[in-house]
Amino acid sequence: MGNIKKKRNERIGGLIKILSDQPNKVITLNYFCELFAAAKSTISEDIVIAKSILEDFQLGTIQTITGALGGVKYTPVVNKEKTIEFLQDICNKLGKEDRLIPGGFIYMTDIIYSPNIATKIGEILATQFYHKDINYVLTMETKGIPIALMTGKALGVPLVIVRRDSRVTEGSTVSINYVSGSSNRIQNMSLSRRALPKDSRVLIIDDFMKAGGTAKGMMDLMDEFECKVEGIGVLVATDQPEIKVVDNYVSLLHLREVDIKNKKIHIAPNLNLK
Q: State the average pLDDT over residues 52-70.
A: 89
Please tell me the predicted confidence (pLDDT) of residue 185. 84
Count of C-beta atoms within a 10 Å radius of residue 141: 12
DSSP 27: B
**Cβ atoms 189, 195 nearer than 8 A:** no
47, pLDDT greater than 70: yes
pLDDT above 70 covers a percentage of the chain that reads 97
- 145/149 Cα distance (integer angstroms): 6
- Which of 79-83, 161-165, 204-208 ranks highest by mean pLDDT? 204-208
DSSP 98: G
Please tell me the predicted confidence (pLDDT) of residue 4. 67
2, pLDDT greater than 70: no
Mean pLDDT score of the chain, rounded to an integer? 92
CATH 3.40.50.2020 fits 80-269, yes or no: yes
- 35/3 Cα distance (integer angstroms): 6
Indicate the pTM of the whole model: 0.91
247, pLDDT greater than 70: yes
More confident residue, 142 or 253: 253
Contacts of 76 (CB under 8 A, 6+ apart): 20, 23, 59, 60, 123, 126, 127, 154
Q: State the average pLDDT over residues 127-134.
A: 94
Q: State the average pLDDT over residues 61-71.
A: 85
- 162/225 Cα distance (integer angstroms): 13
- pLDDT tens readout for residues 176-212: 999 876 667 899 999 999 999 999 999 999 999 999 9
Distance from the Cα of residue 235 to its chain's centroid: 10
- pLDDT tens readout for residues 208-237: 999 999 999 999 999 999 999 999 999 999
> Confidence class of residue 158 from pLDDT cuts 50, 70 and 90?
very high
Q: Give 162's strand partners.
A: 140
- 78/175 Cα distance (integer angstroms): 37
CATH 2.60.40.10 fits 8-75, yes or no: no
Domain ranges for the chain: 8-75, 80-269
Please tell me the predicted confidence (pLDDT) of residue 76. 93
> Confidence class of residue 18 from pLDDT cuts 50, 70 and 90?
very high
Q: Give 84's strand partners.
A: none
> Confidence class of residue 1 from pLDDT cuts 50, 70 and 90?
very low
**Cβ atoms 145, 139 nearer than 8 A:** yes
Please tell me the predicted confidence (pLDDT) of residue 183. 66
> Confidence class of residue 3 from pLDDT cuts 50, 70 and 90?
low
